[in-house]
Amino acid sequence: MATPRSTVILGAGIIGVSTAYYLSQSLPGTSIHLVDPSPELFASASGKAGGFLAADWFGPASAPLGLLSFKLHKRLADEHDGVRKWGYARSTGASFAESEYVGGDEDERQGEWLEGGRSRAEVAGTHEFCEGQGPAWLMRRKGDGYDVISADETVAQVDPLRLSMFLLDECRKRDVQIHQPATPISLITDSSNTITALAIRLNDNSERQVPCTSLLFASGAWTPRVFSTLFPSSRLNIPISPFAGHSIVISSSHWTTSHESSGCHAIFSTSSSGYSPELISRVGGEIYIAGLNDADIPLPNLATETIIEEEAIAELKKTAQRMCGVNGKEIEVMREGLCFRPVTSSGEPILCRVEEKKLGEMKSRDGVFVAAGHGPWGISLSLGTGLVMSELIRGVKTSCEVGRLGMQ
């Protein structure tokens, strides 16, 4: 008798749980295994990103995925009361230039938002700009520039941690097997070198084997590290790098539940401060502030081992005070964070099946796949990625074209 299908997903961040969510709509949950070594799930970008969603801010290769994912976000929110459960709300995307800022070259490639501290609004594609007043929580000064980039049902907002938790809870209801904390050790093969199981080490230092006929790497910035551990004879270099970003979440008397009926705002600013602040209001009275990124902060072994740099937080607090301060009062910081985004040089994510000849000495019965490298768009592209990867794993036609999102 043939070995039953068993899918192992390495990484239980939002990409991993989204894939398990959609895969469990077609396959038994007991045949799907989420494996994550972190003692706390969603401790990096899946829980500490801004949660801004866009329909059309993407490069040509990922544009179909972006539109599909945006539609899926709305559908999921409509079907499961996402407004209440994870703060799904319509939003307005805007570019804000403080008066002393002098803009740069507008012809940059999609991937270059991360180089030189530039605003990703500047490389988001072509949009019609129009005048707008901006939210009440944003401080305006004479000479500042404010332009609406996207509105009218093309941008939205979620709380990424609450969305991730919802997807995980749904997976649990469908009996998806969750192994956490559990560290992948090695792949087990049969006499023909075909993968049959994954060996994992549990928190009590014991080991067990998880049946595996298809394998998905969805470990974010850790993806290349996990792949090289499990395929030591492979020469494949997964072109993903970690890109660290600090953030704070503040409260403001000018952004409360009474203001939410008019929608959220995502402000992508440019200034002479040396970086491009991103300010995002979210349901629940939160304003998320980020944009202070660093490619040189080393990737820790686990997301929970991240060490926040106080100098970075102090800089974000200065930005918050300058841009969101109210009547000279000190801002109230609710949370501080540091996460690692997985980035590629092209700015496009990787969604593909790995060619078997690139696996080294091992073979896979149902395929080895990669879904990572989403950069600043992991939350926005999460649901589309999950659906498409579930289709690739099942071997059926994908809901959108992702042929240009492979590896060379």
DSSP 271-317: -TTSS--EEEEETTTEEEEEEEEETTSPPPSSGGG----HHHHHHHH
Q: How far is CA 387 from CA 35, 41, 273, 289, 309, in A?
A: 19, 21, 40, 30, 36
Among 103, 111, 138, CA closest to 280: 138
Q: Please indicate, yes or no, whether residues 249 and 321 belong to a single structural domain of this protein.
A: yes
Q: For residue 406, is it within any domain?
A: no
Please tell me the predicted confidence (pLDDT) of residue 273.
Answer: 67
C-beta separation of 313 from 336 below 8 A: yes
Q: Please indicate, yes or no, whether residues 184 and 331 belong to a single structural domain of this protein.
A: no
Q: Please indicate, yes or no, whether residues 146 and 253 belong to a single structural domain of this protein.
A: yes
Which domain, by its residues, includes 172? 7-46+162-240+346-394
Query: How far apart are alpha carbons 120 and 276 in whole angstroms?
Result: 8
Q: Please indicate, yes or no, whether residues 174 and 225 belong to a single structural domain of this protein.
A: yes
How buried is residue 105: exposed, middle or buried, by Cβ count under 10 Å (0-12/13-18/19+)? exposed
Please tell me the predicted confidence (pLDDT) of residue 131.
Answer: 41
> What secondary structure, in 3-state letters, does 17-34 show?
HHHHHHHCCCCCHHHEEE
Q: For residue 407, is it within any domain?
A: no
Please tell me the predicted confidence (pLDDT) of residue 143.
Answer: 74
Query: How far apart are alpha carbons 11 and 389 in whole angstroms?
Result: 14
- Which band of pLDDT confidence, cut at 50, 70 and 90, is reported for residue 325? confident
Q: For residue 68, is it within any domain?
A: no
Kind of pairing between the strands at 177-179 and 155-157: unpaired
Q: What are phi and psi of 185, to 5 degrees?
A: -105, -55
Give per-residue pLDDT as tens, 233-277: 999 999 999 999 999 999 988 898 888 888 899 999 986 667 899
Select the more confidently predicted residue: 272 or 402.
Answer: 402
Q: For residue 57, is it within any domain?
A: no
Q: Please indicate, yes or no, whether residues 236 and 254 belong to a single structural domain of this protein.
A: no
Please tell me the predicted confidence (pLDDT) of residue 309.
Answer: 97
Query: How far apart are alpha carbons 197 and 188 in whole angstroms?
Result: 5
Query: Can you give the pTM of this predicted structure?
Result: 0.91
Place of tokens 């974000």: 316
Residue 44 has pLDDT above 50, yes or no: yes
- Which band of pLDDT confidence, cut at 50, 70 and 90, is reported for residue 124? very low
Q: Please indicate, yes or no, whether residues 189 and 323 belong to a single structural domain of this protein.
A: no
Give per-residue pLDDT as tens, 327-362: 667 789 999 999 999 999 899 999 999 999 999 999
Residue 123 has pLDDT above 80, yes or no: no
Q: Please indicate, yes or no, whether residues 192 and 234 belong to a single structural domain of this protein.
A: yes
- Residues whose CB is less than 8 angstroms from the CB of residue 318 and which lie 6 or more positions away in sequence, other chains included: none
Q: Please indicate, yes or no, whether residues 139 and 279 belong to a single structural domain of this protein.
A: yes
The CATH number covering residue 219 comes to: 3.50.50.60
CA angle at residue 244 from 39 to 282, to 5 degrees?
80
Q: For residue 1, is it within any domain?
A: no
Query: Considering its fold, how many domains does the chain have in total?
Result: 2
Q: Please indicate, yes or no, whether residues 119 and 245 belong to a single structural domain of this protein.
A: yes
Both tokens of 55, joined, read: 């329909």
Q: Please indicate, yes or no, whether residues 111 and 228 belong to a single structural domain of this protein.
A: no
Q: What is the mean pLDDT of the chain?
A: 90
Residue 220 has pLDDT above 90, yes or no: yes
